[in-house]
Amino acid sequence: MSTDISRDAGTAPVTPPSPAARSRRTPAKAAGAVLVLLICASLPLWAFPDDYSVGILMQIAIYAGYGLSWHLLAGYTGQYAFGHAAFFGAGAYVMAIFSYHTGLSPWLGLGLAAIGAAVVGLLVGLIALRVSGLFFGLITFGTALMLGVAANQLVGLTGGAAGLSLPLHLGDAGMMQFDTQVPLYEITLVIVAGYLLLTWALLRSRLGLLFRSVRDDPVAADASGVNIRGVRLGALCLSAAMAGLIGAIYAQSLLFIDPESAFGLTQSVNAIFTAIIGGMGSLFGPVLGAAVFVLLREVGMTISDGDGVYSVLFYSTVVFVFIMVAPKGLVGIGRRLFGLVRRDAGKRE
């Protein structure tokens, strides 16, 4: 990734930090990330012990994972999936169908959900990656619509429009059902931490370099011998698996899934909003975006009408205004404020 070197009149050029300096910062950043994760994990124990608050934390964790899956694809390879719910919903339904029809542990269903969503991503990619840009996004959008129709029609398998309710086994950890939502929240946090670690490792690997080269200059990457289609397909399958796994957690948290909540337009938009609010191109952006997104949605529900139209209109309007005012998201705002503080401190010295 290139770094711009700027000059101000009468000042020395600003040089980027050396590799040694960056390597010294890495342990500090890792320690900070672990500390934040531990604080988040402990919130239900001391700050928000009631069921409603734990439910909100659970939603934030789910949408953080969902946003990270979309951001891996769009933020680092430049593939904007307008129908990311196709993969989220595929994972949710694989989990629900597996648990409902076999009676086996959902712990097994988690792996199947990720694999099932990755297979959907592979099939979509074999078709969609023949094109790029807007057409790729539209094909993923169409896929989500088709899967939603299929879920409506296959009543014997999916429950149809009425959805699929999972059998109750409250207090049975083997069936991933607990007396409270706290254990499932902790499990979801572990998954989100895994997504962050995976993304961080990818970005520092040769594969991460290929991701960015395909995103920034596909023509030059192709001329250098990079298998552009293979790189994009790999990213799509990985992103789909991540979305499918978090979709399975979503279904398990509700013990219910239906076509609209799995494959609906709103679910696809949620992933996009979460990543954009937090800040595209930033590792932790989708996590911050998920917190703001869920809280905005909760505020919107307080002004909801019977159909929920007003609440959707509220948070959608707020999000679009936010995008116009802060196109680089919350991370961009934070970096700008931090830069101003550093500049002010430098002047005082």
**pLDDT tens sequence across 330-341:** 888 888 787 766
Question: For position 319, what pLDDT does the model report?
Answer: 72
**pLDDT of 180 over the 60 cut:** yes
pLDDT at 69: 98
What residue ranges do the domains of the chain occupy? 50-348
**CATH assignment of 50-348, among 1.10.220, 1.10.3710, 1.10.3470, 2.160.20:** 1.10.3470
Contacts of 76 (CB under 8 A, 6+ apart): 199, 202, 203, 208, 211, 212, 215, 235, 281
CB atoms within 10 A of CB 130: 11
Q: How far apart are CA 88 and CA 221, in angstroms?
A: 30
Q: pLDDT tens across 106-121, in order? A: 999 999 999 999 999 9
Average pLDDT, stretch 215-231? Answer: 91
pLDDT in tens, 71-115: 999 999 999 999 999 999 999 999 999 999 999 999 999 999 999
Which tens digit of pLDDT belongs to each residue from 192-206? 999 999 999 998 999
pLDDT at 10: 42
Of the pLDDT bands very low, low, confident and very high (cuts 50, 70, 90), residue 215 is: very high
Average pLDDT over residues 47-74: 91
- What's the pLDDT band for 7 if we cut at 50, 70, 90? very low
Helix (H, G, I), strand (E, B) or coil at 324: helix
Supply the pLDDT for residue 19. 47
Taking 80 as the threshold, does the pLDDT of residue 324 lie above it? yes
Q: Grade residue 5 by pLDDT with cuts at 50, 70 and 90.
A: very low
